[in-house]
Structure 1
Amino acid sequence: MKNIKITAAVTLLVLGLTSCKDEKQEQAQKKVDAYVAYVDSVKNVSAENLKADWKAVDAEYDRRSQEAQAALADLKDNSAATEKVNASKTKYEEFKNEMSTVFAPPAPAPSPKQQLRDALFGAGKIGDDMNFNWVNAQNIHSVYQQFVHTVEDNKDKYSREDWDEVKLMYEALDSRKNTVEKEGLTAEDNRKIAGLKIKFAPMYTVNRMGAKSEENKDAKK
């Protein structure tokens, strides 16, 4: 009888331990599933709503991520769960990078001077450092073409200050040409550039004077 009681007690203890283990694994699986579901739910929220609460969203992600990582240790066979956690982690990191771009403040508009330089040479080609090293024997003719044609298209819109900037850029380009001539500039391209320079010179002189006259008129008014 005594042996029966002991056996029964041991059986109950084993069943209790087994039940605790099963419950622990069940809770661990729930934490993994909750983490995966959270990542999927965040991706379905509009960027506008996310932006307002992003710090809280990211903090909640960190909490759930830590719980899921800890839960993996409580799972007897955690290979499938580990794969799910890693996939969700990658998914969230990619989404976070995407949102960082979306939430970033817009870049300030370039100054009028920079806008003029962008039009003359191409966006971002010439900055405050006035570096013309990108101009070489192969592209210098097209650079002059864009410069002179842009000036021709906008000559009636330029202010006196614009023309001063145009002249500054033109002289810097000419200085670069002196270097490029020693680096294989073809005679044909040199001839074409000379034609563009002949076209630019009177256009600059006449329109620069006209812009100054218009500003004097406006000042008198």
Structure 2
Amino acid sequence: MKRFNLALGAVLIAAGFTSCKDEKKEMAKTEVDHYVVYVDSINDLDAAERAANWAAIDAEYQRRVTEAEAALAALENDADAQKRVNDSKAKYDGVKAQAETQAKAEAVAASGNGLADTLFGPGNVVGNDMTFAWVNKDNILSVYQKFYETFDAEKNEYTRQDLDKVKAWYEALDARKNTVEKEGLSADDNRKIAGIKLKFAPKFRWERMTAKGEENQDAKDKAN
């Protein structure tokens, strides 16, 4: 009888251990479920709402992904659970990229003319006609200097569309220079502007060429 009781006790302990282990796995699966559902809920949000609340969304995401990764350890190499977490991580990365892009675009829009403001300074209206009426013999050198220095510092960030705008504005500024020369532009300022133009031209050609090449490669990659 004693031997039977010992054997029964061992069975009960093993059953209890198994039950506890199964319970932990079920809880772990639930954590994975919560993580996947949360990422799906982010993806379903309106883009504007998502961008407006991104800090809180990301903070909550970091908590949930940490819990999901801990749950994976408890699930002991559960391939299905691992795949679900990996898929949700990829989905979140895509949503995060969209939110950051939108936030950047909104920041640029809020700044007024965006790209034009960075190249010519806030308040210096370029306008659709690009007459540069505010540029005169006294400030044209500083306008060229700011334009070139900003372009040189940020050229690696420009898209091909940005570079198209830069080209149009640069040509319009040059057209304005022809007028300003007749209004008394000093020889010294004219010489310095020529030096700026000499530095700008090859850098712009290179950036335009590489941007076009990258665009073509992206198109090929998408086609494949």
TM-score (norm 2): 0.54
- In the alignment, is the contact (CA less than 8 A) between 1:114 and 1:127 conserved in 2? no
Q: How many residues align?
A: 153
TM-score (norm 1): 0.54
Structure 1 counterpart of 2:53 = 53
- In the alignment, is the contact (CA less than 8 A) between 2:51 and 2:100 conserved in 1? no
Asked if residue 129 in structure 1 is aligned to residue 146 in structure 2, the reply is yes
1:134-213 pair list within 5 angstroms? 167-168=179-180
Structure 1 counterpart SS, 2:146 = coil
Task: Work out the CA distance in 2 between the residues paired with 1:19 and 1:168.
Answer: 87
- In the alignment, is the contact (CA less than 8 A) between 1:39 and 1:88 conserved in 2? yes
- Rg larger in structure: 1
Change (3 A) 1:54 1:10: same
Q: Give the C-alpha shift of residue 46 in structure 1.
A: 1.2
Structure 1 counterpart SS, 2:112 = coil
Structure with the higher fraction of residues in helix conformation: 2
Percentage identity across paired residues of the two chains? 34
Structure 1 counterpart of 2:112 = 108
Root-mean-square deviation over aligned CA pairs: 4.0
Change (3 A) 1:63 1:113: closer
Amino acid at match of 1:167: T
Task: Work out the CA distance in 2 between the residues paired with 1:43 and 1:11.
Answer: 48
Structure 2 counterpart of 1:74 = 74
Over residues 91-125 of structure 1, what are the superposed CA-to-partner deviations in whole Å (9 max), with x where a residue is unaligned?
1122112112223422432456451698369xxxx
Structure 2 counterpart of 1:119 = 130
Q: Give the C-alpha shift of residue 128 in structure 1.
A: 4.4
Structure 2 counterpart SS, 1:63 = helix
Unaligned runs of 5+ in 2: 133-142, 149-167, 199-224
Change (3 A) 1:147 1:5: closer
